[in-house]
A = this chain, B = another copy of it.
Amino acid sequence: MPTTYVPINQPIGDGEDVIDTNRFTNIPETQNFDQFVTIDKIAEENRPLSVDSDREFLNSKYRHYREVIWDRAKTFITLSSTAIVIGCIAGFLQVFTETLVNWKTGHCQRNWLLNKSFCCNGVVNEVTSTSNLLLKRQEFECEAQGLWIAWKGHVSPFIIFMLLSVLFALISTLLVKYVAPMATGSGISEIKVWVSGFEYNKEFLGFLTLVIKSVALPLAISSGLSVGKEGPSVHYATCCGYLLTKWLLRDTLTYSSQYEYITAASGAGVAVAFGAPIGGVLFGLEEIASANRFNSSTLWKSYYVALVAITTLKYIDPFRNGRVILFNVTYDRDWKVQEIPIFIALGIFGGLYGKYISKWNINFIHFRKMYLSSWPVQEVLFLATLTALISYFNEFLKLDMTESMGILFHECVKNDNTSTFSHRLCQLDENTHAFEFLKIFTSLCFATVIRALLVVVSYGARVPAGIFVPSMAVGATFGRAVSLLVERFISGPSVITPGAYAFLGAAATLSGITNLTLTVVVIMFELTGAFMYIIPLMIVVAITRIILSTSGISGGIADQMIMVNGFPYLEDEQDEEEEETLEKYTAEQLMSSKLITINETIYLSELESLLYDSASEYSVHGFPITKDEDKFEKEKRCIGYVLKRHLASKIMMQSVNSTKAQTTLVYFNKSNEELGHRENCIGFKDIMNESPISVKKAVPVTLLFRMFKELGCKTIIVEESGILKGLVTAKDILRFKRIKYREVHGAKFTYNEALDRRCWSVIHFIIKRFTTNRNGNVI
């Protein structure tokens, strides 16, 4: 539903003409505002979410006794159950993905359902060294002993590989399209917005989305598409957190504690995906909860959930080698100071990757929305076939991304006969022929470029898709290519550690695409344990960050997607110009002065009619309560504010039939006790917020924005010496800010419409050529 943007023609006068309520034209940066419900963190402070009747709790005689334990232990039980569920899903997902990937190249002789790790589990020789190397030898022997049979022959392996890839992609996209549309893409942006106080459609964290995402994700990854599992892991983990807290803590859960549980669960998603608990906790902090105030109880919950989830994953032991760490390299050669310029070069590559890949990806998403939006399934099929075709012929693209990174990170030990296919990478030394060197170097560069382009076109397709691991794979192949050059032309053999360059390249691109610093450094540590390289790693990530901030990109791909999709999000960074432009405007110019107010005392029927027909005319979410004396005055004094949601649920509870409603009086300023036994009148004081935040007319918009951001309130009343003048909502100020930004700086994302049209015409021509047979009718 591409919304057209109509520039505001009449200039906003400084102070005379007040902008009326639906006065903000819809611009792309605010197109999806209405799908979100703003949560008033102050009014909802310690008010439980669902005000349903108190559920009787196994009303046996131990009831009181059980309630006391439940009260103390409920946090632990909720956190532990969330973590265990996340750990189990991660374990299942890991095993299922590996099985699918292994099927593409062979099957287990004993029982075709088993994947390589399970199938070759018996082949364990006595040296229990834990390095990844041995795993390779295991596979080698496993195949030698005929336990695992690879598909034989010339053509059939290729056909099976292609067929299975396309089949997996098809099932994945059909599941997402028809069963749970919310399960597409990564989901980090929506979670980030949700936790900052704008609740998305409940379906997004629903049970169906959880199941489909957990099933469609392994299928998407095993189909060979250049998609990662980190973003989707955050999504399914957050679903677990959301569903379990709503079910277990139903009657005592408040919004602020729900956000803590969601942030903790999202962190655990990354922890189990990477096998990096500390990195997961930091991800929850630096990416998800960056709009909230840092508090130690969120940190403690994230820490606990990440720990229990990782321990569960270790217990399930998906890799069959008792370890959670994916790569576990042992670099023992220290780095030299002369290598710093190369680290800087890797950092620059990471920065440029982050900048251009996200730019092209956003342009492609715009192109997809304009032209391809009606054929999502066909698009995914085409992508899967294209990717399978290209990657079959390149050794770095053919392997599953995690496996290929395993090879690229591992440094070549002198007598390296242990790795099964004694990788060509390690056979290189100074006297290898230039042609041999060139072959590997081009294959690495080819893998880097192709995968980067595939990432641009695959991220955003109608399948669960993350962008972290593919970016790391691009960085790893680039890093290893650089190390080949350095070893060949500059340093000579066994001076530098080639594996470390791949490791640093992967960190550069990961930091480039996410624009995170601390989280990336810690994740890369926990992935590899390469402790010697703490300083080079920090240098690379620092350079990447500098490149990004000098080219004006402040957020990672998740932040940019928030702007592209027009989600409401109170960014914290404003550059100086933006502040100056906003300072000129005051609350008076921003407030909506045509308000629907409720009197202190009002008939129930009036209230019901106001509630239900107002849904049509204004999308109003709350009503100021005004004094009775000013009922017919133009200038009213405000004594409180009530949210429509609370009003509706309170009225529902009254269960008063419509005739009686005409006569029952509702008092907003007297509580039930004060009204006592007077019949047919009800006190609504408990749902009224008696002290809404209020400001004067002359307050500058910058201070207003800061109050919305820091206090998390939903509406601010504008008063002048006690008289109610108007009302500003969080979404109003965001709309105003983004419209102003567009006026001063132009659109944040500019699209090359001409290029898009030309591409579309080419694609359209090709499709027409294929689908219509000779005599012109569509097959």
Q: Identify which of residues 550-582 in chain A touch chain B, using a CB-to-CB cut-off of 8 Å.
A: 572-573, 579
Least CB separation from A697: chain B residue: B691
Q: Identify which of residues 27-54 in chain A touch chain B, using a CB-to-CB cut-off of 8 Å.
A: 42, 45-46
Q: Please determine whether B521 and A278 come into contact, CB atoms closer than 8 angstroms.
A: yes
Least CB separation from A690: chain B residue: B698
Q: Please determine whether A293 and B296 come into contact, CB atoms closer than 8 angstroms.
A: no
Q: Please determine whether A531 and B325 come into contact, CB atoms closer than 8 angstroms.
A: yes
Q: Please determine whether A703 and B722 come into contact, CB atoms closer than 8 angstroms.
A: no
Chain B hits for A303, CB < 8 A: 517-518, 538, 542
Chain B hits for A711, CB < 8 A: 706-707, 710-711
Q: Give the complex CA separation of A300 and B538 in angstroms.
A: 11
Most buried by B among A290, A297, A518: A518
Given contacts A281-B518, A324-B534, A690-B698, 14 further A-B contacts (CB under 8 A): A277-B535, A282-B518, A290-B296, A292-B294, A293-B293, A293-B294, A294-B294, A310-B535, A314-B535, A322-B334, A526-B534, A691-B703, A706-B711, A710-B710
Query: Which 6 A-B pairs give the minimum distances between C-beta atoms?
Result: A721-B722, A529-B531, A294-B294, A691-B699, A710-B710, A307-B538
Q: Tell whether A166 is near chain B: CB-to-CB under 8 Å.
A: no
Q: Tell whether A359 is near chain B: CB-to-CB under 8 Å.
A: no
Q: Please determine whether A130 and B722 come into contact, CB atoms closer than 8 angstroms.
A: no
- 18 of the cross-chain contacts (CB-CB < 8 Å) are A130-B334, A130-B532, A277-B535, A277-B538, A281-B518, A286-B299, A292-B294, A299-B518, A307-B538, A522-B522, A526-B534, A529-B529, A691-B695, A691-B699, A691-B700, A691-B703, A694-B695, A710-B710
Query: Chain A: interface residue count, which band?
Result: 35 or more
Q: Identify which of residues 274-292 in chain A touch chain B, using a CB-to-CB cut-off of 8 Å.
A: 277-278, 281-282, 285-286, 289-290, 292
Q: Identify which of residues 307-331 in chain A touch chain B, using a CB-to-CB cut-off of 8 Å.
A: 307, 310-311, 314-315, 322-325, 328
Q: Tell whether A720 is near chain B: CB-to-CB under 8 Å.
A: yes
Q: Tell whether A167 is near chain B: CB-to-CB under 8 Å.
A: no
Chain B hits for A686, CB < 8 A: none
Q: Tell whether A204 is near chain B: CB-to-CB under 8 Å.
A: no
Q: Please determine whether A296 and B573 come into contact, CB atoms closer than 8 angstroms.
A: yes
Q: Tell whether A446 is near chain B: CB-to-CB under 8 Å.
A: no
Give A537 Cβ to nearest chain B Cβ, in Å.
Answer: 10
Q: Please determine whether B696 and A297 come into contact, CB atoms closer than 8 angstroms.
A: no
Q: Please determine whether B42 and A706 come into contact, CB atoms closer than 8 angstroms.
A: yes
Q: Give the complex CA separation of A42 and B328 in angstroms.
A: 49
Most buried by B among A282, A328, A691: A691
Q: Give the complex CA separation of A314 and B719 in angstroms.
A: 60
Least CB separation from A586: chain B residue: B691
Q: Tell whether A332 is near chain B: CB-to-CB under 8 Å.
A: yes
Q: Give the complex CA separation of A286 and B703 in angstroms.
A: 27
Chain B hits for A281, CB < 8 A: 518
Give A524 Cβ to nearest chain B Cβ, in Å.
Answer: 11
Q: Give the complex CA separation of A294 and B722 in angstroms.
A: 35
Q: Please determine whether B698 and A535 come into contact, CB atoms closer than 8 angstroms.
A: no
Give A518 Cβ to nearest chain B Cβ, in Å.
Answer: 6
Q: Give the complex CA separation of A306 and B278 in angstroms.
A: 19
Q: What sequence of 0s and 1s flags, for each residue 96-138 of chain A, a beta carbon within 8 Å of any chain B beta carbon?
A: 0000000000000000000000000000000001100000000
Q: Tell whether A304 is near chain B: CB-to-CB under 8 Å.
A: yes
Chain B hits for A707, CB < 8 A: 711
Chain B hits for A579, CB < 8 A: 46
Chain B hits for A722, CB < 8 A: 719-722
Give A290 Cβ to nearest chain B Cβ, in Å.
Answer: 6
